[in-house]
């Protein structure tokens, strides 16, 4: 079954649900810089540190988190469009994090249904998948185009579980931000945090991570002692 054919499981399997930006593909700091420039162009001074802590939220939620709900209502669309144009300068040069594709193939080979759960959609998602170059291992994708509410709401993870056809207790969610960990926890799945997105271990653990690893290569090398064993 191809990556986007809908349900890929029967309820008796197990699902490895993974975030993409910052978890599998090295994009977080690109997003920080391009959001910073989008805010600057619109006359807003927002620190890169604050933006980094908000990466992982959907565009409208990110703007609201950083500038407030009133500004988001008025400016989120324009700011998001500016960010998209700026980020678009990099999409053909995106690079997967070490062993990201190997991790997905290993999980698929060991019987996990691999599902991506990402705030990206459209051409951005296509670019991320090209960078990963692991479509043969991906069972399904729950993208921003498929849900009404993004992380930290549980809907992206719940949609991924629907696509995999497995209950929450038979799934593990891997991500790199506190928003990922909160979404996974609210969906009732075990959560694994990765440090490669730049968020401290303690923050990931406080947000719900039951285990934390450095990056996909570290997780791959540690599978036997991880929740994905």
Total length of the chain? 229
Domain locations in the chain? 14-27+95-225, 28-92
Beta-bridged to residue 15, according to DSSP, are 113, 171
> What percent of the chain has a predicted confidence (pLDDT) above 70?
95
pTM > 0.85: yes
Alpha helices, H only, 17-58: 28-41, 48-54
Indicate the fold that domain 28-92 takes in CATH. DNA polymerase; domain 1 (1.10.150)
CATH code, residues 14-27+95-225: 3.40.50.1000
* pLDDT over 80 (residue 29): yes
Q: 100-129 pLDDT, tens per residue?
A: 999 999 999 999 999 999 988 889 999 999
When computed from its CA atoms, the radius of gyration of the chain, rounded to whole angstroms, is 17
Q: 185-204 pLDDT, tens per residue?
A: 999 999 999 999 999 999 99
Cβ 156 vs Cβ 150: under 8 Å? yes
Beta-bridged to residue 142, according to DSSP, are 117
Residues 6+ away with beta carbon under 8 Å from 56: 19, 21, 22, 119, 151, 175, 176, 177, 178, 179, 180, 197
- Position 224 scores a pLDDT of 96
Long-range contacts of 121-129 (CB under 8 A, 24+ apart): 121/145, 123/91, 124/84, 124/87, 124/91, 125/20, 127/91, 127/92, 127/94, 128/20, 128/21, 128/24, 128/25, 128/27, 128/94
Token pair 């029967």 is found at 10
Cβ 152 vs Cβ 183: under 8 Å? yes
- Position 1 scores a pLDDT of 34
- Position 33 scores a pLDDT of 98
Q: 69-110 pLDDT, tens per residue?
A: 999 999 999 999 999 999 999 999 999 999 999 999 999 999
* pLDDT over 90 (residue 208): yes
């Amino acid at each position: 079954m191809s990556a986007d054919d809908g349900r890929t499981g029967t309820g008796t399997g197990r699902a490895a649900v993974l975030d993409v930006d910052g978890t599998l593909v090295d994009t977080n700091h690109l997003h920080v810089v391009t959001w910073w420039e989008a805010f600057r162009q619109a006359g807003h001074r927002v620190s890169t540190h604050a933006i980094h802590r908000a990466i992982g939220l959907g565009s409208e939620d990110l703007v609201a988190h950083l500038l407030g709900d009133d500004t988001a209502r008025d400016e989120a669309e324009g700011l998001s469009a500016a960010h998209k144009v700026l980020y678009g300068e990099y999409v053909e040069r995106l690079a997967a994090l070490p062993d990201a594709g190997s991790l997905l193939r290993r999980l698929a080979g060991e019987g996990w249904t691999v599902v991506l759960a990402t705030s990206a959609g459209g051409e951005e998602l296509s670019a991320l998948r090209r960078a990963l170059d692991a479509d043969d291992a991906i069972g399904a994708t729950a993208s921003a185009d498929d849900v009404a509410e993004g992380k930290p709401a549980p809907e992206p993870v719940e949609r991924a579980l629907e696509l995999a056809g497995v209950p929450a207790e038979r799934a593990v969610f891997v991500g790199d931000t506190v928003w990922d960990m909160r979404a996974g926890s609210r969906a009732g799945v075990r959560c694994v945090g990765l440090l490669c997105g730049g968020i401290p271990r303690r923050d990931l653990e406080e947000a719900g991570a039951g285990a934390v690893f450095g990056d996909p290569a570290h997780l791959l090398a540690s599978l036997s002692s991880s929740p994905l064993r």
